[in-house]
Structures are given as structure tokens and as C-alpha cells.
């Protein structure tokens, strides 16, 4: 069997269950996969259990062959393509069909005419015509979904029409139409980020190809670009891939992706992301992420998930609203039995909780997600906002998060009298120059400043989280961490222990170079702490964070120095990347609500494990599905902004929730005891709903 691995573990004439290996992939969103599989003809439902790697299909006809064909061929590109298709439909629907004021105008016209026309037949005709869409929708919803707020609203208007109380019917209908228009307008506006990101991608790009022994530039469809290709981008063009610059200088406008208004100068070794525009210059880019793995495609994945995800507070509001519909209806029934007063019944039916409860919460979440997106902060959904709000422990990976990640060579030491410092640096740079790791880039940059002379070497082996290995003049060269050279490669450090310890005590980060199974020398590097790191830590504590933690591979002495300077509460040093996730889990087991902030490269397990994972932009796939929040700008201050937005959003939602329950309970009580007429109830109830919606639309503001 080619393609994805799956196994049918159970089946009947109308149901089948499969074990599906692709569900192990953390990048596969089960909601998107579910919708993709539901498109199979005759499939009536799909249920996915990602933890159990299980998919259960129910169908009206046996379509096992079609199901298995679909499972065999599905991949992340096809899923993201299905998002694009749905998004383009959504976008065209929203952008071409603006929210209409037709219903508001018709209901308002009927309301105004009723005050001037004294003919009952004409008033009845106007009122009935204006209310017909509501009455039809309410009737359909009654049979399809049972008792809902729409059913109660249409019943209230219908009773007013039967009583020939056209003022009440028209007033209620006008308020409902206005509320619906505001809701549609809100959804239309809150999806603007999705609309912007769903614009057509770059269709073609120039790529270097070898023909007849010569390198030429060819225009190829973007989907044909492969990882490792050299993509050539000229002024005025949109960058089609995520990658590193291998040649050229340019001015790149990143406003569409990071919100930075000023173009940035980019040069060799710098990272660029898809969707940004090259304003001046010309670049050759080594393609690191292409197709479905590019930043723009991952962002679409984020937005698609976030706009459809429901948080626990949203589900709570929806459940409460649904439970209160029978309460409202029951009070109306009791009132009629006791008072035989249809006016009071109509008034009670107006005072329904559902509108404000169901609408204000998702609108507030959408408003925040959209606002954060334009600030260069991608929040995956409402659940991520909730988790970020409750996070009381922030764990930071040091390099590239608390620090700039831009290393500089500050000292080269040779431990062999036959090798000068320049030769040690040239050997290291020659080995490292094909890699875009921050350490490698710093070494190559320093070598070029000193007049880089390339040394011939054999093929280089890159060993993740350790270093590199090659051969020069038939001797093995190993470059990397002390653990790599001393423990894995068995190189003796004892002869140079005093010099090494002195450098470490001075807070230097050391890169070790081994040649012919001896320690040839060290290169000391420095990584500057971000200018606003200390301020960001202070601000997080002001926002309710009780505990801050730093994780680093640095020696303990240096790690403690950095932590003391920044005001970090707890430090874990000399770590391997695999250690980070276990520390996150340990703190979660202690009952902490953990947010993990990392660069998204070696931190994926920790990002997944934490209650909320925050991925820094630099040096990482900025929209990795492992993170709940992904920063598009290289600024630790954005972590504070995300936390502030989450706190304020949840405060706004709780305020709206309490106001909804309190105000509507008072309105319902007043209507039940006959204190409010249907018109007054309609104005109070719908006015409250509109006010809460407008409050949610306004959303929250950052303190800048």
C-alpha cells in the first residue's frame, strides 16, 4: 500500500473505524482534516480522535474504497489547499456581499409609517411584510433545532401581529434587524485578516537552474520550487519562500507579516519570509520552507483554526443561553395561564438571554485575534487566549528569546603553536560556512573581517544540538559544544582547563574546535541581551505572572549571572533541547499554568507540552503548529503585548457576561410582573445586546 499508512480496525454496513498514522503529525489539524473527509460523497459524519490515531466514519452507502483512497492521498498541502478554497469562498462571500441594511430599512419604514397611517389594513400589510423573513426563519429553526432564541423572537413578533399591536411588532422587528446587521458587520470586519492573507499567492518565481554546465535563471511555477533551490527576487516582487539570503543586499517591506512600517535592510545570512515585498535591490534566497510550509500558508492555517475554535467560556455562554430559552418560554406560559394576557406573554418572550450571551463572547475573541494579527502576533484561537490569560509561570529559552540571538566573535584562542588564531578561525569558518546557524554565521562573519582564507575539507556532517564534523588533510575536525567534543568524541580537555574556566567565569560562550583528536582551540562568542528584556519581565509580573524561569545550555555560572541581571526567578542550565519539555511538564504537574517562550527550532516538544506555547520569530518557522501564539516580529515585548491582550480580553468577556445575565434577568423579571410593555422590553433587551456587541467590537487596547 503506497501513500499514508492506515488500517481498518472495524466496520459495518454504515460505519467504519480506521487507525491513521498521519495523525501522529502535530501539524495536522483534526478540524481541517475532519472537514476534508466529510466532503466524501455519502459520508454523513466523521469523528477524529488524534490521541488514539483513530477516525470513525458513518455513511449512507458503502464508500470504503473512496474513504481509503482519500486517506491514502491526503497530506498537509492538500489540507491547506482545502483551506484556501474554503477561504476564497468565504472571502468572496464577505467582500462581495456587504452586510445589508435592507431589513433594517424595511422594518424602520413599517415602524415610521404606523405612526402616520391610521388604516389598520395598510399597517398590518406593512408590519407583516417587514416581519415575514423573521417569522419564516423562526419557523424553520423551530423544526430544525427546536426552541432557540430565534424562535422566541419570531413568536414575540407573531403574537404582537395577532394582537394588532403593530407598534410593538415593528419596534421589536426593527431592533432585531439592527442587532443582526451589527452582528454581520462585526463578523465581516473581524475576518479582515483572513481576507488579506487569503489573497492569491505568488504564482511564479525565478529559480537558478543548471543547464549545459551553466547556471541560468528560469521562471517556474511556485509549486515546483524545492527546498534547497536558489530563488532570485528582484525589486517590486513578493518573496515566495521562507529562507536565507545567500547573495545580495536589499530593502524588504515586512509590514504585511510583522506590522513593521519601515522597510528593513537585508543581507547575506539574514532570514526572509514569504509574503514580504522586496522594495529595492536584488536577492538570491536559499529556500528553507516552500509550499504548505511557508509562513503565509501556516498563517492561513492559524487563522482558519482560530476563527472557528470555541473556548470554554464561549461554550459556557452558549450552554447557558440554550438552557435559559425553556425558562423564558416557561415563564411566558405560566404568565398566560395566570393572567390570560398576550401582551405580557409577548413582553416576556422579548427578554431572552441568547443573543447577547452567544454573540458578544465570540465577537470579543475575534476582535482580539484580528487586532493581535495586525500587531504581528498570531494567536491560534480563543482557547489560546484563555490559556495565556491564566498563565502564571513563564518559561523562557535563553538564546534568541531573552537574547538577540546575534552572536559576535570576541576572542579566538589557539592551543597549538603550529596554528595561529587566524588559521583556527579560518578552519572553523570553512567548515561552518554552509550552515545558517547563528554560531556559524558569527564565525564566518568574523573570518571575513580578518581576511577569510578558505581551507579545503571533505563533506560536512551536521549533528543536531552538538556541532559539525568533517575531515581536513585526512584528520577529523569536530566543532561544537564541550559535551560533543569531550564526552562523545573523547577529546581530552585537561591540559587547557585553566584557560577554559577563566573564559567561562568571564561570561563568554565558547565554541570548541578539535583536530586529530586533540583540542585545537576555542572561539569565544557573545550574545547581547535584548534591550527590553528586563522591562518585559517586569511588565509580565505586573500582569499577574508569579514565576519566571530561564532554560539554557550555558554553564551554570554564566546562566546565574544573566538571570540575576534580568530578575529571573529560577534557572536551569547546561541543558540539552530534550530536557526542556520534561521541565515544562514537571512545573505543570506542580499545578502551575505554564507558558513556554522559545525560538521554535529545538523547542517544539516544550511548546507542545506547555499550556500555551509562544514561538519567537527569528530563526524559526513562524507559524509552527506546535505554538499557540506565534510572533511575527523579533521583539520579546510582543510576549508582553500578547499577555496583556489576553488579560484584557478575558476581563472584557467576563464583564459582558455578568452584564448580560444581570441586565436581562432584571428585564425578564420586569416583563413577568407586567412592568414592561413589549415595546419597552424590546428596546431594553435589544439595546443591551447592541451595547454589548459594540463593546466587544471596540475590543481592547494595548498600553503603548
* Residues near 117 by beta carbon (within 8 Å), at least 6 away in sequence: 123, 126
> Cα separation of 575 and 154, whole Å?
64
Task: Choose among 319, 400, 322: nearest CA to 152.
Answer: 322
Catalytic residue among 397, 599, 628, 634: 397
> Cα separation of 150 and 216, whole Å?
64
Strand pairing of 518-529 and 509-515?
antiparallel
* Phi/psi at 688 (5° precision): -60, -45
Residue ranges of alpha helices (H) inside 117-243 are 120-145, 149-162, 166-190, 192-197
Task: Choose among 335, 359, 348: nearest CA to 168.
Answer: 348
* CA 568 from centroid of its chain's CA atoms: 27
* Phi/psi at 570 (5° precision): -145, 145
Integer angstrom CA distances of residue 493 from 270, 504, 519, 594: 35, 14, 7, 39
Q: How many C-beta neighbours within 10 Å does residue 675 have? A: 14
> Cα separation of 218 and 203, whole Å?
14
Query: Are residues 354 and 605 in contact, defined by beta-carbon separation less than 8 angstroms?
Result: no
Q: Which three cell numbers stand for residue 34?
A: 475532519
* Residues near 555 by beta carbon (within 8 Å), at least 6 away in sequence: 504, 573, 574
Write down the residue that cell numbers 583556527 correspond to.
Answer: 424
Known catalytic membership, residue 397? yes
Where b means 16+ CB within 10 Å and e means fewer, 629-647 reads bbbbbbbbbbbbbbbbbbb
Integer angstrom CA distances of residue 216 from 211, 222, 434: 7, 17, 22
* Residues near 417 by beta carbon (within 8 Å), at least 6 away in sequence: none
User: What residues are labeled active site?
Assistant: 397
Amino acid at each position: 500500500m503506497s501513500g499514508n499508512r492506515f488500517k481498518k480496525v472495524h466496520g459495518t454496513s454504515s460505519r467504519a473505524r480506521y487507525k491513521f498514522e498521519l495523525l501522529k503529525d502535530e501539524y495536522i489539524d483534526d478540524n481541517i482534516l475532519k472537514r476534508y473527509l466529510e466532503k466524501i460523497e455519502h459520508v454523513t459524519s466523521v469523528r477524529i480522535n488524534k490521541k488514539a490515531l483513530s477516525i470513525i466514519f458513518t455513511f449512507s452507502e458503502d464508500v470504503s474504497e473512496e474513504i481509503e483512497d482519500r486517506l491514502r492521498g491526503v497530506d498537509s498541502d492538500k489540507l491547506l489547499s482545502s483551506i484556501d478554497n474554503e477561504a476564497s469562498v468565504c472571502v468572496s462571500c464577505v467582500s462581495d456581499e456587504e452586510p445589508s441594511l435592507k431589513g433594517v430599512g424595511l422594518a424602520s419604514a413599517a415602524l415610521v409609517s404606523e405612526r402616520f397611517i391610521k388604516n389598520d389594513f395598510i399597517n398590518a400589510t406593512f408590519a407583516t411584510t417587514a416581519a415575514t423573513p423573521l417569522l419564516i426563519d423562526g419557523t424553520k429553526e423551530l423544526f430544525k433545532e427546536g426552541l432557540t432564541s430565534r424562535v422566541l423572537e419570531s413568536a414575540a413578533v407573531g403574537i404582537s401581529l395577532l394582537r394588532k399591536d403593530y407598534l410593538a411588532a415593528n419596534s421589536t422587528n426593527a431592533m432585531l434587524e439592527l442587532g443582526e446587521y451589527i452582528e454581520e458587520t462585526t463578523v465581516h470586519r473581524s475576518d479582515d485578516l483572513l481576507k488579506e492573507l487569503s489573497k492569491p499567492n505568488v504564482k511564479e518565481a525565478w529559480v537558478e537552474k543548471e543547464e549545459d554546465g551553466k547556471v541560468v535563471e528560469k521562471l517556474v511555477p511556485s509549486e515546483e520550487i524545492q527546498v534547497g533551490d536558489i530563488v532570485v527576487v528582484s525589486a517590486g516582487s513578493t518573496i515566495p519562500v521562507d529562507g536565507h539570503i545567500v547573495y545580495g543586499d536589499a530593502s524588504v517591506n515586512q509590514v504585511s507579516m510583522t506590522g513593521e512600517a519601515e522597510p528593513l535592510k537585508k543581507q547575506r545570512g539574514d532570514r526572509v519570509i514569504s509574503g514580504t515585498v522586496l522594495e529595492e535591490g536584488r536577492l538570491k534566497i536559499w529556500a528553507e520552507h516552500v509550499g504548505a510550509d511557508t509562513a503565509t500558508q501556516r498563517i492561513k492555517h492559524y487563522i482558519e483554526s482560530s476563527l472557528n475554535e470555541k473556548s470554554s467560556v464561549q461554550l459556557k455562554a452558549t450552554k447557558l443561553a440554550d438552557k435559559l430559552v425553556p425558562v423564558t418560554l416557561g415563564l411566558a406560559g405560566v404568565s398566560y395561564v395566570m393572567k390570560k394576557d398576550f401582551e405580557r406573554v409577548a413582553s416576556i418572550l422579548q427578554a431572552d438571554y441568547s443573543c447577547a450571551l452567544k454573540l458578544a463572547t465570540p465577537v470579543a475573541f475575534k476582535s482580539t485575534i484580528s487586532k493581535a494579527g495586525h500587531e504581528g502576533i498570531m494567536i491560534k484561537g480563543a482557547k489560546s487566549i484563555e490559556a495565556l490569560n491564566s498563565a502564571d509561570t513563564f518559561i523562557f529559552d535563553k538564546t534568541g528569546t531573552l537574547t538577540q540571538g546575534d552572536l559576535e566573535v570576541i576572542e579566538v584562542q589557539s592551543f597549538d603553536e603550529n596554528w595561529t588564531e587566524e588559521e583556527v578561525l579560518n578552519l572553523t569558518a570553512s567548515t561552518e560556512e554552509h550552515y545558517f546557524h547563528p554560531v556559524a554565521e558569527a564565525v564566518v562573519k568574523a573570518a571575513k573581517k580578518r581576511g577569510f582564507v578558505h581551507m579545503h575539507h571533505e563533506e560536512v556532517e551536521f549533528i543536531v544540538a552538538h556541532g559539525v564534523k568533517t575531515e581536513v588533510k585526512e584528520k577529523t575536525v569536530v566543532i561544537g559544544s564541550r559535551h560533543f567534543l569531550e564526552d562523545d568524541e573523547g577529546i581530552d580537555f585537561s591540559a587547557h582547563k585553566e584557560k577554559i574556566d577563566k573564559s567561562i567565569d568571564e561570561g563568554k560562550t565558547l565554541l570548541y574546535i578539535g583536530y586529530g583528536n586533540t583540542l585545537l582551540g576555542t572561539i569565544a562568542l557573545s550574545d547581547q541581551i535584548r534591550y527590553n528584556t528586563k522591562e518585559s519581565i517586569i511588565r509580565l509580573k505586573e500582569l499577574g505572572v508569579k514565576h519566571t524561569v530561564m532554560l539554557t545550555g550555558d554553564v551554570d555560572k554564566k546562566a546565574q549571572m544573566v538571570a540575576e541581571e534580568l530578575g529571573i526567578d529560577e534557572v536551569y542550565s547546561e541543558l540539552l533541547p530534550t530536557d526542556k519539555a520534561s521541565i515544562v511538564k514537571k512545573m505543570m504537574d506542580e499545578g502551575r499554568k505554564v507558558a513556554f517562550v522559545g525560538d521554535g527550532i529545538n523547542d517544539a516538544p516544550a511548546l507542545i507540552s506547555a499550556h500555551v506555547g509562544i514561538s519567537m520569530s527569528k530563526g524559526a518557522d513562524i507559524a509552527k503548529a506546535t505554538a499557540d501564539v506565534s510572533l511575527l516580529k523579533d521583539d520579546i515585548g510582543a510576549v508582553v503585548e500578547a499577555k496583556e491582550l489576553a488579560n484584557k480580553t478575558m476581563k472584557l468577556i467576563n464583564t459582558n457576561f455578568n452584564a448580560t445575565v444581570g441586565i436581562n434577568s432584571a428585564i425578564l423579571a420586569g416583563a413577568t410582573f407586567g412592568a414592561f410593555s413589549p415595546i419597552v422590553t424590546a428596546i431594553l433587551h435589544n439595546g443591551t445586546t447592541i451595547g454589548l456587541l459594540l463593546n466587544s467590537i471596540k475590543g481592547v487596547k494595548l498600553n503603548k
